[in-house]
Copies of this chain bind each other. A is one copy, B any other.
Amino acid sequence: MSLLSVGTVAFDEIETPFGKSGKILGGAAPYISLAASKLGVQTNIVSVVGDDFPDDYLNILKENHCNTDGIKKIPEGKTFFWAGKYHMDMNFRDTLRTDLNVLENFKPELSETYQKPEVVMLGNLHPKVQMEIIEQLDNRPFIIMDTMNYWMDRTWDELMAVMKRVDVLSINDEEARQMSEEYSLKKAANKILTMGPKFLIIKKGEHGALLFGGDEVFFAPALPLEEVFDPTGAGDTFAGGFSGHLADTLDFSFENMKRAVIYGSALASFTVEKFGVQRLLEINELDIQNRIDKFKKLSYFDLD
């Protein structure tokens, strides 16, 4: 099993009704790869940081089965910075600040050891960057991509070109509606599945996630939690759990993808319990198994 994960590595500063995080480790790649590592999968990370990025953060990743050789450190560069604020309805947030910094000129380069992954998770980045990754691959792995409305507005054609090269698209409900110009998520899914990917995941935050593929549809609920402390990284953790399970099993059937969705949802339900990757770092295999049992109990019914 081998997972290649491409995504931002960042500083985040988060404010929620429950507190302020200060400047902490953030970005898609840490959530993706730490989630995958919790399923025993090693991730090769491709990303970029500035020379203000502390070794301590890199060590956290290294200690958790992440290969950080592909995280390029730009001399005199500054690391991508994002600040945001959540209100009681955590499905929405205000972005207070986005400094792209070294991300602006990010040209990913895959070293030889990175070029033959079995599964690739393309985090939300400029479609040009996502395409550069795909074109450097030596094989044709199973590819999952994330994106956002920002790229739909600005780089539609480039985005569509990437879409034609991937197996799974993972976006949220608002993005699915924008991409398809359909309000009904069922109609949206039907349309998006003609644009390239064979499978579509629609993330609905506290309302769970839908998986579409062919004529099939699967719904994974989100666990009703006492408190969502900080939703930052929930989507990326989901992506990490999802792609991690696929890299672990190399079974790309719809049935196994359903399991991957459950792993992703379970891991994401931990991430939101504390700021940043803190909670992900604390949990062990038993915690995950217990959480998955809760998911099973939550949605299981028997009519006989």
Interface residues of A (CB under 8 A from B): 88-89, 183-187, 189, 204, 207-208, 210, 216-221, 224-228, 255, 258-259, 261-262, 292, 296-303
Bound together, the chains give a CA A210 to CA B222 distance in angstroms of: 11
The listed residue with most B CB atoms (<10 A of its CB), out of A89, A186, A224, A300, is A224
What chain B residues lie within 8 Å of A220 (beta carbons)?
299, 301
Query: Chain A contact residues: over half helix, strand or loop, or mixed?
Result: mixed
Residues of B with C-beta under 8 A to A184 = 224-228
In the complex, the answer to whether A299 meets B219 with C-beta atoms within 8 Å is: yes
Whether A298 lies near B88 (C-beta < 8 A) is: no
Residue of B nearest to A189 (CB): B224
B262 touching A225, Cβ below 8 Å: no
Is there contact, CB below 8 Å, between B186 and A224? yes
Q: Are B303 and A292 in contact (CB under 8 A)?
A: yes
This chain: how many copies in the complex? 2
In the assembled complex, 30 residue pairs joining A and B whose CB atoms fall closer than 8 Å, in A order, are A89-B183, A184-B224, A184-B226, A184-B227, A184-B228, A186-B224, A189-B224, A204-B207, A207-B207, A208-B219, A208-B221, A210-B224, A217-B298, A218-B301, A219-B224, A219-B298, A219-B299, A220-B301, A221-B221, A221-B299, A258-B301, A259-B301, A259-B302, A259-B303, A261-B301, A262-B301, A292-B303, A296-B301, A299-B299, A299-B300
Q: Which residue of B lies closest to A289 (CB)?
A: B303
* B224:A217 contact, CB within 8 angstroms: yes
Q: How far is the CA of A121 from the CA of B81 in the complex (A)?
A: 54
CB distance A262 to B303 under 8 Å?
yes
Additional A-B contact list (17), CB under 8 Å, known A204-B207, A221-B299: A184-B224, A184-B225, A184-B228, A186-B224, A186-B226, A187-B226, A187-B227, A216-B297, A217-B224, A218-B298, A218-B299, A219-B224, A219-B298, A255-B302, A258-B301, A262-B301, A299-B300
Q: How far, in whole Å, are A274 and B185 apart by their CA atoms in the complex?
A: 18
